[in-house]
């Protein structure tokens, strides 16, 4: 594909740098606007995908990522790829884990950690980052204590 998302598209978040990424819930199917070039699955179980176009972050529902270093590596790859590809983050419902990942991505892109949850709630979903420990994870993320 090699093109960016439409800024007004379903689930699309504009990062401070201007890069666009999409979040979604897998149980709701593919939203309008076409498919992603690069997908990040945030799931407790292996989604059965591999290769250059997808990454799996082991992340049980309502929890935190199991391997935080691997999570950060995937975020950095996604941020880099978003400059030239359609990047998508997805979990079951598209709110908690996806919102948390998008908030951490926003921190990497320049949003202060203490403002990242509000940033994602305003630009992606009003209930993004569901649990207190997910919110705490985001606040600590930019300080290296995630």
In this prediction, residue 145 has a pLDDT band, given cuts at 50, 70 and 90, of very low
Strands 20-25 and 12-14: antiparallel
Closest residue by Cα to residue 104 from 15, 1, 10, 43: 15
Alpha helices in the chain (DSSP H): 68-81, 96-108, 113-123, 132-141
Give the chain's domains with CATH numbers.
12-141 (3.90.190.10)
Give the per-residue pLDDT at 34: 82
Which string of b and e fits 100-119 if b means at least 16 CB within 10 Å?
bbbbbbbbbbebebeebbeb
- pLDDT at residue 11 is higher than 80: yes
Give the per-residue pLDDT at 144: 63
* Contact call for residues 146 and 140 (beta carbons, < 8 A): yes
Give the per-residue pLDDT at 85: 95
Give the per-residue pLDDT at 2: 52
User: What count of other Cβ atoms lies within 10 Å of the Cβ of residue 120?
Assistant: 26
Give the per-residue pLDDT at 1: 43
Give the per-residue pLDDT at 115: 97
74-121 pLDDT, tens digit each: 999 999 999 999 999 999 999 999 999 999 999 999 999 999 999 999
- pLDDT at residue 20 is higher than 80: yes
Quick one: how many helices (H) and strands (E) in the chain? Answer: 4, 5
* Contact call for residues 99 and 129 (beta carbons, < 8 A): yes
Strands 87-91 and 38-43: parallel
42-70 pLDDT, tens digit each: 999 988 876 679 999 999 988 899 999 99
């Amino acid at each position: 594909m090699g093109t960016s998302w439409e800024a007004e598209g379903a689930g699309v978040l504009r990062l401070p740098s201007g890069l666009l990424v999409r979040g979604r819930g897998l149980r709701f199917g593919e939203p309008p606007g076409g498919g992603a070039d690069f997908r990040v699955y945030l799931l407790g179980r292996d989604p059965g995908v591999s290769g250059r176009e997808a990454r799996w972050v082991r992340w049980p529902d309502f929890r935190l990522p199991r391997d935080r270093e691997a999570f950060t590596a995937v975020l950095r790859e996604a941020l880099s790829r978003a400059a030239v590809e359609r990047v998508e983050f997805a979990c079951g419902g598209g709110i908690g884990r996806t919102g948390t990942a998008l908030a951490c991505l926003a921190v990497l892109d320049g949003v202060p950690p203490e403002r990242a949850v509000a940033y994602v709630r305003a630009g992606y979903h009003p209930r993004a980052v569901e649990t207190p420990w997910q919110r705490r994870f985001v606040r600590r993320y930019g300080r290296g204590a995630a």
